[in-house]
Structure 1
Amino acid sequence: MASLKETPRQKMIGMMYLVLTALLALQVSDALLQKFALLNSSLEMANQSSLNKSKGMVQGIEERIKDLPNPAAYADVLKKANEVRRLTDSLVGHIENVKGQVLEAAGGIDPETGNIKNPKEEEKIYEIMVGGAKQGEAYKLIPMFDSYVKQLTATADPGTKFASLALEAKDIPSAQKDPNQANKDFAEFNFEHTPVAAALATLSQKQSEIRRYEAEVLNQLAAKVGAKEIKFDKVFAQVSANANTVVAGMEYQAEVFIAATSSGFTPRMSYNGSPLQVVDGRGQIKFKTSGGGYDANGLAKKTYTASVSYMSPAGPKTESITKEYFVLKPTYNIETGTLPALYLGCANRLSVASAGLGALWNPSFTAEGGEAIAGANKGKVTIVPTAASVTLNVNNAGTLLGKETFRVRRVPRPDIKIVGSSGAELNDKSGENSASLRFVNAKAIADESFAATNPEDANYRVSEIEVALARGTKRVASITLPGGGSISSLAGQAQAGDRYRIEVKGVQRKNFKGSVETIPFSFVKVIPLN
């Protein structure tokens, strides 16, 4: 039994399709939709290359037959080759029309950006492809797929088997064990809850499979007349880039390749004069982009030159192409309740976001004049200053995006309140009753603004107070308390006209790490007795 021989590029496309089918039922992000659009673009380029190759194969068969001693004996081979091409072009063309309907449902292509206007559209895609009572375009494709496979099988060498182009979920290993997918037919599995970009990529992948089947049969027919090695009369260079706009510091990736090539030679390729690694006829370009020279929109126009050298019928030849791309200036915003200044030795929590970088946003931070502690989520960082100013270095994927310098404030001193047993503040103007005042407590109250922005660092307590009973110019007695407590021993000696002199001798603050520091503090309050 003969089997289909896949090129490395075809294997890559097949693998991408497996990933695509596994993700069709998910709610996808903008970044993933962009990747589906790139995947569709890559598939369409591959399909165009396959079309050129199939034309060359048929032309090669025809030219080879002319050179044979008895060309009429091989007329049926050329007839079959042309019929295979006709069947394939017809089916691929029909799918292209369906893709046009899908694209129209999404509002078409934005002429300014070149992107699909509404890549997330799902409901209209469902109506077009699935529809009510199974009348959608996907169901119309099934008999067309089956007829195509049947006709190709009849033309191909005996024993050649082609897999169905309309597999149901139960026939796909990645879906058959999923209870949410296993019972879906071809149309439901591929186009239910499917955004525009994914639907286009799915249809392009079907076109790729059809071209692969066509190539297999044409190869078999070419072998019958000794024309399997096909020579193309036109060879040109092509560059395929993942994206034309990238962020400074990110890797730019692209492929430079011969659009119509032959296995009989390996071209030499270069990037800006430096040789490239060539894999399956495609040069691998990868370099780290640089910024600078940004315009008012934050874009910097860049170019590079790719060259391809090969042996043409007329001798050695070199094709060069200059590729243009744009570097996007990375931007970010810092959000914090403590701007424009941070507090010394405290946990100043910042949030650094970059809407422009999207899925590429993966920041890391360092600090000069302090410590930078990474948060649990992307873009979250805690700065603990140790100097009068601190500079935050914002990096993304190893590239420095910018430096932000903050002023650093000292932690504001707390207010002290002296209260009695009722919790009310003692009156240092009209005084307190000497017989009833038997308990005092000193409270350290954090600055309101500091407590609002740094609550984890605004935890104070008075650690020691001295309460002295004074009469005239003499000190009658005194007592030392750990922040507050009973003064009954003094109250028993107190008389009207005496006074309490309350001195705060120690204040402590617990920071966000749980460490306790003693704050130098001097505070005295005199309470007259009556």
Structure 2
Amino acid sequence: MALPRDPRQKMVNIMYLVLTAMLALNVSAEILNAFTIVNNSIDHSNLSITGKNNSVYSAFDKQLAADPGRVGPLKAKADAVKSEAQAAYDSLEALKQLIVKESGGWEEVNGEKEVKEKANLDVPTRIMENQKRGPALEALLKKFRTNLLNNVDPKEKEAFNKALPLQIEDRYKGEDGKDKSWTTYHFNMVPVVAAVTIIGKLQNDVKNSEAMVAEDLLKQIHANDIPFDKMQSFVSMDSRNLQEGQTLTAHIAIGAYSSTVNPDIVVNGQTLKVENGIATYTMPVSGLGEKKLTGTISLKKPNGEVINADIDEAYTVGASATSISADKMNVLYIGVQNPISITAAGVPAEKVEASVTGGSIAKKAAGQFLVTVSAPGKANINVSADGKTLSSKEFRVKFIPDPVLKVGFNKSGYMKASEFKVQGGLRADLENFEFEGVKYDVVGYRIGIDAKGKDYAEGDANSAYFPSTVKATIASLKPGDQVYFDNVKVKGPDGRVRDMGNISFKLN
């Protein structure tokens, strides 16, 4: 327990505390001058970074002129970064000027601008804390930082979040170990020259953060480019074997190209229109034998250099030949649309026509047809183009195979009683058939149930589902019981009702 003190002793203690506080606040002239030196250095650094950033934005302007399709979106982001950075910088500058003005203004010393009242502690505290300009500045800088991160590649956002020079923490540890707000930590009872230097450092962080993001956006313009210094022509012809009088169509491009910067392509002396790096050339062909397509491709690099490649492609003008193939097999099935591919050498796919005996045929796309047949036996597919018959081929016509009867996933034979009881009826699955989506419907059957210790139960169904007359018996089935399906009938996509015979299950 502390001993009581007389009033004189209490006064001495209070005076000691006041003197200690004054000593703590008595910042030496050397320290204040050091702040001035640092602040002037930061100001010069900010000018240098501004010049560097302006060079980046000038580079965007040049790249935009060369390739607006690719550069436009990235330049829009860069312009937003520049605008927001300038707004944040100007807000900091306005606070700096206000603090200096309230403390007595600037003076010139040895050719450098310095604060007159360097040691003033009241003005920064009053403006930043009492007038709440500090929290407002903190919110502005946080928003600016968030907007910067929104302009970087999402994959790189976490790395930028850690690397950005502008870092704003919510709480700081003071010398006394207690948490302090951002404003209190930076501006409470600090000399004017220190407050000005801190603001200058924040301006520097804004400029450096702007530079990081702007430079990254500039790099993204060519981030996915594949450099190439050699070029090879690429020519795609609809056909290299043509008949006299037909039209040759060729698509010409370079081996690597930009979708926004097109080359100049000349074929047989004709300058072609180029879109997305590709030009289309057409001409009627004449005379039998081997022919050549000749020309040049020229591409101008961003530095103005032009690279060239020659076009030298051979094609043949000759007699017609045809090819007919069944996509599923050399069989046509009744009740489904059979896809058929037909090509004729030297004939564009869109000009190929076809007909069929014993059925009908519909054109689905160039070279693609759907054939429908109705009777088993044989059918001929005839191919023509421009009114001329080119070829014919014979196909077998069959009914779709019979399905397999199942209860659940089980065919005839042994089946667990517990599994049988939860099924809803009899299924007819078509297995190992080339066509997808072909289904059979069970349209009728007779079910018989031989359960141990019970009378024989039976019922007739006119659908796949178990008839209601035997549902109770099915629910009580046990191992050892037997279930019979007789006179099963199914209906396929061809509309024909088929008799599937009988199946049975012994439950275990």
TM-score (norm 1): 0.35
Ranked by relative contact order (alpha carbons within 8 Å, sequence separation 6 or more), the top structure is 1
Which of 1 and 2 has greater Rg?
2
